Amino acid sequence: MSAALLRAAPALTVAAFGLPIAAGLLGTVLPAFGHMPAIGVDQWGLQAWQALFDHPGFATSLWLTLRIGLLATVLSVLLAVGLAGLLATRPAAARLGAWLAPVLATPHSALAIGLAFLIAPSGWLVRWVSPGLTGWALPPDATTVGHVSGLAVVACLLLKEVPYLVLMILGALNQVAAPAQLAAARALGHSAASAFLKVLLPQVWPQIRLPVFAVLAFSLSVVDVALVLGPGNPPTLAVLALRWFSAPDVQRYPQAAAAALLLLGLVAACLLAWHAADRLLARLGRRWIERGGRGGAVVPASALAAGAGLVLLALTALLLLALGLWSLAGAWRYPDALPSVWTLGNWQQQGASLAGPAANTALVALCATAVALVLTLACLENESAGGVPAKRRAGPTGNTGRTSNTGGQRSLWLLYLPLLVPQVAFLFGAQVLLVRARLDATYLAVVWTHLIFVLPYLYLSLADPWRAFDARYARTGASLGASRWRVFWRIKLPILLKPTLIACAVAFAVSVGQYLPTLFAGSGRIATLTTEAVTLASGADRRVTAVWALLQALLPLAAFVLATALHRWCFAGRRGMA
Amino acid sequence: MPMNRRTHLASLLALLSAPTISPAQTAPDWAATLAKARGQTVYFNAWAGDAQTNAFIAWAGAELQARHGVQVTHVRLKDTAEAVTRVIAEKAAGRTADGSIDLVWINGPNFLAMKQQGLLHGPVTPLLPNFQLVDTTVKRSNVIDFTTPVDGFAVPWKLAQIVFIYDSARIPNPADVPRSAEALLAWARKHPGRLTHPNPSNFLGATFLKQMLYELAPDLAAMQQPATDETFARTSAPLWAWYAQLRPLLWRGGRQFPDNGSAQRQLLNDGEIDITLSFNPAEAAVSAASGLLPPTVRSFGLRKGSIGNTSFVAIPFNAAHKEGALVLANFLLAPATQARAQDIAQMGSPNVLDLRRLGAADRALFDRLTPSAALPSAADLGPPQLEPHASWMTRVTAEWQRRTANP
Amino acid sequence: MSDVNGGALQLQAVHITLAGRVLIDHLQATVAPGDCLTLMGPSGSGKSTLLAWLAGTLDPVFQASGQARIGADALTGLPPEQRGVGILFQDDLLFPHLSVGGNLAFALPAAVRPRAVRLAQIDAALAEAGLAGMAPRDPATLSGGQRARVALMRTLLARPRALLLDEPFNKLDAQLRQDFRRFVFDHARQRALPVLLVTHDDADAQAAGGQVITLGRP
């Protein structure tokens, strides 16, 4: 593998998604300030912004967006820490970790639809106790779904964000001699919870900082969950922007662009604020650690957080079950706790139109994952080959204590850009770019657009295990006469096969769940399971929606199962590889 | 797109022809169009939220393939605006030919927007032999859309008319069914929280407000003209007074509204409300047949009449397969197709044709349709009222948003 | 800073097996305060397993029975953090995210207040170890021997009632090994702590000067 090619990898990677994002943003910035000849708007100025601020309910939308974004992030961090602490300190509970992956495979929109059915006043939870325990012959006129506080949206976001952060924390813990440090801390008299919070968490915190940023950005700019569970009048800023982008009155486009840009600014501001708060928290945290407390209040607090985390997992299982029941239901009215008419017809009917979208989804996901994998491995290999010196992230004392770094290349920040910029802010501009290049409605365009979002997740999942690879293996291989390429192919990759396969499964799941990118890049010609699911969901037939939601989740789940099985098959009988 | 002399002459001939001339004799260009369309693939962009419509489009595609060798690909949309956005993007990128959309199912405000922006190819109706059969006198919405003449830039496909649906298990006595604005208010007082309407940013929701405006407005004629601040304030005052009384009695206290008609239909099925509305008069029958609503649902129309409009199919200015699109549009107007579309076992949507212009055999097709107790009778619905000028809808929606923004 | 914790470490009928294979066979031992019991044996003979059992962090795959006491207090049944048993491992396991002073502060009981008193005790402990003024230092910048000493001071600051040493001298070179060994035993004696030393080095056993038990008879 030529060193020159490797050195080009980071630049190539950044270009692969940097260009579309930049072009897309341009395509949003220009209309926001009055330049969009296609609809006859060509007057530079702030009229679009004025229209945005004057829109009735704008302030409410803004506060709602902030509330949902910050609350979801804070709660998901707290619950993830609690749950991760439970899993890391209690070996019996570690088996629960295996259930986290299927939750991540389920797309947000499917979870939203399931949750909406679960918690609605005419929903499943109420149906179990009505009219028997509650006496409600008709559903009560209370608001859960679409409550103005946005709590329903927060709940749905937590369902996926908590497992994601838990997996990130546990993954980072693998790189730190966790059990030994835990034993040492407990020998000093600290409870398990206190040991986790004061010893292990600070060491892995730098590595979950970026995932938390991604969670924050997503919570602020989420669209499909807010559409299903959020208040409609007024909605969040992202939904508002989307509504105006889709309005029949095309004169609303500049306003929509302005809203999308405002959302981008909001995300940036929140990230900065979080960063500052993080710094403050680090300083306060150090004081707290050095006070030597053995964890009086910490134990019940972590137990509460862990408990809440478990409740979330139970909710997810419940709503997936509800979706399953709906997919088999012929008729299911309030207050029946189970469908009154069962049928396989839903699956049969949808099965006919299944093959095309399923094939498209798998094809696009495989291609995007493959390209992302090659780019990621090239970047990581370049890094370990010394192409770019590994940067150390400064911990509280200026050192993370690990000989391999957690900072990595500077381009890591850029890699996160697709996760931090709201999709709605740049996809329209990107579509114009694609059309101009005559690339729209091609598989290439869709794969490329998916690649933008798949790359960060793949890199994130793979970087730490890759960097933690014991360099002595490679050195031994070299001393035995193997070339760089041979060391990579025959030593490094096989040893790191498990994290690589899992990372690929994650990337696959991300690609399957993409909606707006497929829509814009594919010009509607390329139907995937997700576009079909969202489109059919607009017809509000829960039976059809449930079938497609489950199908959407099945493919990534299969990827996860395949990844684990493949690894086990490859290395059956090698206990050191488990 | 400028018409060339030949097409102009052809359309003149078509217009001058007596109504009883059979379609096959007009427009000699039609044979040429058919020949050119053979082998093309038409990308038909249509909202796909309804399984029935999707199945119908699939059937139409199969027929077209068999008869004319034209392949139809149903590009599924969540929202018609997606197609509008795409055409705009293509125009912005300078693509004036080989566009990705050949035919789009469009109505009302979306159509207006496209026509005004010059995004449509046309006029096309003179080119279609079956357009002869379309009713342009009684079903005026086929040629006038929101007081703007269609001018042949879109081809009528199906009719829509506002109809209300209720569950007869909840309202057993048909006499109790509210059939006017005042009756709705009185009914809501007796059953708070059991009535709602879609969010007016959705076409159906806005049409509900327009319908109530028709019910309460002192001067209907004013709404066929563009709205001014003065006329709007005067005409809509009774509406807002009525709505202010109604709002607290609505579902969720009038603070939350379903996103669209389908979502509201689901509320009816869930038992959260008792009355819903739809653009498709056969909605109750079709939904009951497919299990989306209980079999006890019935339809009713308001006593004073209900707003009706037409759904069109239109060809974007840069469509790559215009001939194939024309063939499909023409096929959709064929009597057999329209009769099949109207059957509640298929879509249940009313036809756009003038039945008097049909031969006896074709007319008989419309007598053999599946009956249903949930279908409204023609007497029940009455003739459709025309949509008001587009500016009224914009203003009503904006005013509603202003009044309900802060609960 | 001598502190009489009181109580001898008693092991009664300690029996540990793994999947049928006996590792510790009905061990009976008593270690008086200030004394050192040395456990010797080849690798895999269960020495570290016994220490893990004493500390309360034994992996559930093992089956263990028996009683351990310090003075009159039973250890078995208590969670690790309540046993008051200090451990020194082969690796110093200084927490990399805290400074040297921070590591020591972490171990110092919260009852010691206010902050000034805590800092004073930490500085005193460092001075005792010959590392005066190193509180703000990053542990990674210290030499192996210095880190080992900090690790011991950290363990002692937590006021343990017994001390377990799991081959803590292994990673040190011969001279450092001698010095650190003397350092550990001096402090243990000073605080009258019963010490349990696990090692495979005879020199360590001799320096400990107490009873020697050899494990791992097949």
Contact list in A for residue C60 (CB cut-off 8 A) is 91-92
- As given in the structure block, the two tokens for residue A380 are 């990581």
DSSP A491: I
Neighbours of C (≥3 Cβ pairs closer than 8 A)? A
Q: Does B96 touch chain A (CB under 8 A)?
A: no
In a domain, A110, yes or no: yes
Find the mean pLDDT for residues A191-196: 88
Helices (H) and strands (E) in chain B, counts: 15, 11
List, for residues A202-238, the tens digit of each pLDDT value.
Answer: 998 988 888 899 899 999 999 889 988 998 878 999 9
Q: Is the pLDDT of residue B376 over 60?
A: yes
In a domain, A331, yes or no: no
List, for residues A332-348, the tens digit of each pLDDT value.
Answer: 888 888 888 899 988 88
Q: Does B152 touch chain A (CB under 8 A)?
A: no
C89/C166 Cα distance (integer angstroms): 5
Q: Which helix (H) or strand (E) holds A17?
A: helix A3-32
Same domain (yes/no): A253, A392: no
Q: Is the pLDDT of residue B15 over 50?
A: no
Q: Which of residues 56-75 of A touch B (CB under 8 A)?
A: 56-57, 60
Residue C110 to residue A293, Cβ atoms within 8 A: yes
Q: Does B250 touch chain A (CB under 8 A)?
A: no
Predicted local distance difference test score (pLDDT) of residue A326: 92
Residue type, A290: E
Domain parsing of chain C, residue ranges:
1-84+175-218, 87-159
Exposure of B47 in the CB half-sphere (CA atoms within 13 A)? 18
Predicted local distance difference test score (pLDDT) of residue C201: 84
Residue C79 Cα, gap to closest chain A Cα (Å): 8
Q: Which of residues 170-189 of A touch C (CB under 8 A)?
A: 177, 180-181, 183-189
Same domain (yes/no): B68, B154: yes
Same domain (yes/no): B254, B393: yes
Q: Is the pLDDT of residue B157 over 90?
A: yes
- As given in the structure block, the two tokens for residue A58 are 């704008």
Residue B250 Cα, gap to closest chain A Cα (Å): 10
Which chain A residue has its CA at the smallest distance from B49's CA?
Answer: A539
Same domain (yes/no): A290, A362: no
- Per DSSP, helices labelled H in B5-79 are 5-16, 29-37, 51-68
Residue C91 to residue A191, Cβ atoms within 8 A: no
Same domain (yes/no): A257, A395: no
In a domain, A363, yes or no: yes
pLDDT band at residue B27, thresholds of 50, 70 and 90? Answer: low
Same domain (yes/no): A146, A24: no
Q: Could you tell me the residue range of the domain that residue B27 belongs to?
A: 5-159+311-371
Cα Rg for chain B, rounded, in angstroms? 22
Same domain (yes/no): B74, B111: yes
Residue corresponding to tokens 């966790």: A178
Q: Into how many domains does chain B fold?
A: 2
Neighbours of A (≥3 Cβ pairs closer than 8 A)? B, C
CATH number at residue A52: 1.10.3720.10
Same domain (yes/no): A122, A8: no
Cα Rg for chain A, rounded, in angstroms? 24
Q: Is the pLDDT of residue C215 over 70?
A: yes
Measured between CB atoms, which of A57, A435, A525 is closest to B93? Answer: A435
Q: Which CATH number is C1-84+175-218 given?
A: 3.40.50.300
Same domain (yes/no): A20, A107: no
A73/A158 Cα distance (integer angstroms): 8
Which of C21, C18, C27, C38 is closest to C207 using CA atoms?
Answer: C38
Same domain (yes/no): A196, A130: yes
Highest mean pLDDT of the ranges A184-188, A485-489, B242-246, B359-363: B242-246
Phi first, then psi: what are they for B281, rounded to 5°?
-60, -25
Which chain B residue has its CA at the smallest distance from A227's CA?
Answer: B259
Predicted local distance difference test score (pLDDT) of residue B312: 93
Same domain (yes/no): A68, A202: yes
For CA atoms A34, A38, A40, A42, the dihedral sign is: positive
Same domain (yes/no): A370, A480: yes
Which of B257, B308, B262 is closest to B287 using CA atoms?
Answer: B262
Same domain (yes/no): B10, B140: yes
Contact: chain C with chain A (3+ CB pairs below 8 Å): yes
Residue A331 to residue B294, Cβ atoms within 8 A: yes
Q: Is the pLDDT of residue B26 over 60?
A: no
Contact list in A for residue B402 (CB cut-off 8 A) is 56
Contact list in C for residue A290 (CB cut-off 8 A) is 98, 101-102, 105-106, 118
In a domain, B328, yes or no: yes
Residue C110 to residue A291, Cβ atoms within 8 A: yes
CATH number at residue B48: 3.40.190.10
Which chain A residue has its CA at the smallest distance from B260's CA?
Answer: A538
- As given in the structure block, the two tokens for residue A64 are 């709602």
Contact list in C for residue A397 (CB cut-off 8 A) is 97-99, 102, 138
Contact list in A for residue B94 (CB cut-off 8 A) is 436
Q: Does A340 touch chain B (CB under 8 A)?
A: no
Measured between CB atoms, which of C59, C107, C140 is closest to A401? Answer: C140
Crossing angle of helices B181-190 and B203-216, rounded to 10°: 110
Predicted local distance difference test score (pLDDT) of residue C6: 67
Residue A57 to residue B262, Cβ atoms within 8 A: no
Residue corresponding to tokens 């206190």: A194
Spatial strand order in the sheet of B163-167: B275-278, B163-167, B297-300
Contact list in C for residue A402 (CB cut-off 8 A) is 96
Q: Is the pLDDT of residue C217 over 70?
A: no
Which chain A residue has its CA at the smallest distance from B401's CA?
Answer: A56
Same domain (yes/no): A17, A50: no
In a domain, A535, yes or no: yes
Measured between CB atoms, which of A233, A441, A535 is closest to B199? Answer: A233
Which pairing describes strands C85-88 and C162-166: parallel, antiparallel, or unpaired? Answer: parallel
Q: Does A292 touch chain C (CB under 8 A)?
A: yes
Residue A400 to residue C97, Cβ atoms within 8 A: yes
Find the mean pLDDT for residues C59-75: 88
Residue C70 Cα, gap to closest chain A Cα (Å): 15
* Stretch among A17-26, A97-106, A164-173, A489-498 having the lowest mean pLDDT: A97-106
Residue C55 to residue A396, Cβ atoms within 8 A: no
Same domain (yes/no): A187, A89: yes
Mean confidence (pLDDT) of chain B:
85
Q: Does B79 touch chain A (CB under 8 A)?
A: yes
Same domain (yes/no): B298, B394: yes
A325/A124 Cα distance (integer angstroms): 11
Mutate to test the interface with B, among A538, A544, A545, A548 (most CBs of B within 10 A): A538
In a domain, B376, yes or no: no
Contact list in A for residue C101 (CB cut-off 8 A) is 290
Residue C167 Cα, gap to closest chain A Cα (Å): 15
Q: Could you tell me the residue range of the domain that residue A292 belongs to?
A: 46-313
Share of chain B above pLDDT 90, in %: 38
Mutate to test the interface with A, among C81, C85, C150 (most CBs of A within 10 A): C81
pLDDT band at residue A79, thresholds of 50, 70 and 90? Answer: very high
Predicted local distance difference test score (pLDDT) of residue B21: 38
Residue B78 to residue A535, Cβ atoms within 8 A: yes
List, for residues A431-451, the tens digit of each pLDDT value.
Answer: 777 777 777 778 998 999 899
In a domain, A459, yes or no: yes
B25/C181 Cα distance (integer angstroms): 112
Same domain (yes/no): A54, A12: no
Q: Does B271 touch chain A (CB under 8 A)?
A: yes
Find the mean pLDDT for residues B218-246: 89
Residue B351 backbone zone (phi > 0: left; psi -120 to 50: alpha; other: beta) = beta
Residue A55 Cα, gap to closest chain B Cα (Å): 8
Residue C106 to residue A289, Cβ atoms within 8 A: yes
Residue A395 backbone zone (phi > 0: left; psi -120 to 50: alpha; other: beta) = beta
Neighbours of B (≥3 Cβ pairs closer than 8 A)? A
Stronger pLDDT, A501 or B383, i.e. the higher one = A501
Write the DSSP assignment of A29-97 as a string of letters: HHHHTTEEGGGTEE--SSHHHHHHHHSTTHHHHHHHHHHHHHHHHHHHHHHHHHHHHHHHH-GGGGGGG
List, for residues B106-144, the tens digit of each pLDDT value.
Answer: 887 788 888 888 899 989 988 899 998 998 887 888 888
In a domain, A55, yes or no: yes
Mean confidence (pLDDT) of chain C:
86
Residue A101 Cα, gap to closest chain B Cα (Å): 30
Measured between CB atoms, which of A243, A250, A539 is closest to B113? Answer: A250
The length of chain A is 578
Given A286, A313, A340, which residue is the final one in a domain?
A313
Q: Does B401 touch chain A (CB under 8 A)?
A: yes
Q: Does A475 touch chain B (CB under 8 A)?
A: no
Torsion angle (degrees, nearest 10) of CA B367, B368, B369, B371: 90
Residue corresponding to tokens 């006017």: B180
Contact list in A for residue C89 (CB cut-off 8 A) is 180, 184
Decide if A154 contacts A75 (C-beta within 8 A).
yes
CB pairs under 8 A between A and B: 172
Write the DSSP assignment of C11-80 as a string of letters: EEEEEEEETTEEEEEEEEEEE-TT-EEEEE--TTSSHHHHHHHHHT---TTEEEEEEEEETTEE-TTS-G
- Identify whether A234 is preceded by a cis peptide bond (ω within 30 of 0): yes
Same domain (yes/no): B152, B202: no
- As given in the structure block, the two tokens for residue A236 are 């969040």
Contact list in A for residue B401 (CB cut-off 8 A) is 55-57, 233
Which chain B residue has its CA at the smallest distance from A248's CA?
Answer: B110
- As given in the structure block, the two tokens for residue A10 are 């980071």
List, for residues A382-429, the tens digit of each pLDDT value.
Answer: 877 664 333 333 333 333 333 333 344 555 677 778 888 888 888 877
Q: Is the pLDDT of residue C38 over 60?
A: yes
What pTM value is reported for the model? 0.81
Residue A227 to residue B269, Cβ atoms within 8 A: no
